[in-house]
Amino acid sequence: MYQEAWRLITQSRYITLISHVNPDGDALGSSLALYPILKEMGKKVTVVNVTTPLPIRYDFLPNFDRIKTALPSRVDLLISFDCGSFDRLGIEPVDVPLINIDHHITNTRYGTLNLIEEHLPSASSVVLKLLHENGVPLRRDVATCIYTALAEDTGFFSYENVTAHAFEIAAELIEAKADPVTVAKNLKERNSLAKLRLEALTIEKLQLIYHAMVGYAVLTLEDFAVTGALRSDSDACVDIIRSLATVEVAILLIEEHEGYKISLRSKGSIDVSQIAIAFGGGGHKRAAGFNTKSKNAQEIIDNIIEKAGI
């Protein structure tokens, strides 16, 4: 299938690389990893993410400034990255072939070709496999993007998706001149004051139930306005809740103009991906999420707890 995907890439001229709305490092790193390779092949390549503004912490990634917010007028081939379902790309369907590159077990396999490797630690690892399977050598800018995506999606090698193979991948990328120190500094040591204020507010609003085994917080549109934080500044807030010693399940509700975005985390026996699937979302066993148009925060939390069987 990897050779088939490469044949499709080779036969296409106008290629769009697209990742999910509200992107993380894996989404952007994976898409930007392929960009210089396809450009070198003479392809007309566009990197797209519909989110505005994009999280500024990724601006050190090579070709970050090339990312567009809309599809170009001509597309022969779509390649999606780190996206479990088509609707999360934030675009209308396009009548062209689509290569779906991902590692989420809940992926709906919406592509013409689906390169889904649930056992790999990041979507960028699937990109690396695509390059390996087709004899494409690593270059520094590509290795930087893939390493950034790998490091962030493994929680800098602290999550359950970390295996010996994850470290082998990291070693290969470092050999290709990815700089782990630079990546870590850019992702961990450039917090805005607004982001820190939002994280402090999350702690202030934290509610603990079921003998402090479940922790949840609700961040409203007003909270973002008061702190000056961007939507992307909330990415670590649910992990702050999970970090509490007693918490087994962490729930974060982020208010949107229509409903809420819900992030779920666990560190015990509860598979939050199954909870997310029940509400039309997806993700991993320990990290998942979904969106709802409901504006009743307490009802959402009650329904999540009921599904969790706590």
pLDDT at 274: 94
Tens of pLDDT along 276-292?
A: 999 999 988 999 999 99
pLDDT at 310: 73
In the chain, where does the domain assigned CATH 3.10.310.30 lie? 193-308
Q: What is the CATH number of domain 2-188?
A: 3.90.1640.10
pLDDT at 269: 81
The architecture of the domain spanning 193-308 is Roll (3.10)
For residue 135, the 8-state DSSP code is T
Give yes or no for residue 309 having a pLDDT over 90.
Answer: no
pTM > 0.95: no
**Contacting residues for 242 by C-beta, under 8 A, at least 6 apart:** 215, 250, 265, 266, 267
Judge residue 256's burial from the number of C-beta atoms within 10 Å of its C-beta, 0-12 exposed, 13-18 middle, 19 or more buried: middle
Between helices 164-175 and 123-133, what is the axis angle to 10°? 60
**In Å, what is the CA distance from 256 to each residue of 2, 134, 240, 247, 293?**
38, 42, 21, 26, 9
**Contacting residues for 12 by C-beta, under 8 A, at least 6 apart:** 43, 76, 77, 97
Question: Could you write out the DSSP letters of every residue in 23-81?
Answer: --HHHHHHHHHHHHHHHHTT-EEEEE---SSPPGGGTTSTTGGG-BSS--S--SEEEEE
For residue 214, the 8-state DSSP code is E
Tens of pLDDT along 126-182?
A: 999 999 999 999 999 999 999 999 999 999 999 888 999 999 999 999 999 999 999
HEC readout, 95-118: CCCEEEEECCCCCCCCCCEEEECC
Q: What percentage of the chain reaches a pLDDT higher than 90? A: 95
Backbone angles phi, psi at 188, to 5 degrees: -110, -20
Query: What's the whole-number mean pLDDT along residues 222-242?
Result: 96
pLDDT at 295: 94
pLDDT at 80: 98
pLDDT at 308: 87
Residue appearing with tokens 């809420």: 260
pLDDT at 91: 97
Give yes or no for residue 293 having a pLDDT over 80.
Answer: yes
pLDDT at 191: 95
pLDDT at 25: 96
In the chain, where does the domain assigned CATH 3.90.1640.10 lie? 2-188
Tens of pLDDT along 54-70?
A: 999 999 999 999 999 99
Tokens of 122: 């990041």
pLDDT at 3: 98
Query: What's the whole-number mean pLDDT along residues 75-104?
Result: 96
CB 275 within 8 A of CB 287: no
- CB count, 10 Å around CB of 299? 11
d(CA 135, CA 98): 22
d(CA 305, CA 121): 28
**In Å, what is the CA distance from 100 to each residue of 2, 80, 285?**
11, 5, 21
**Mean pLDDT over all residues of the chain?**
96
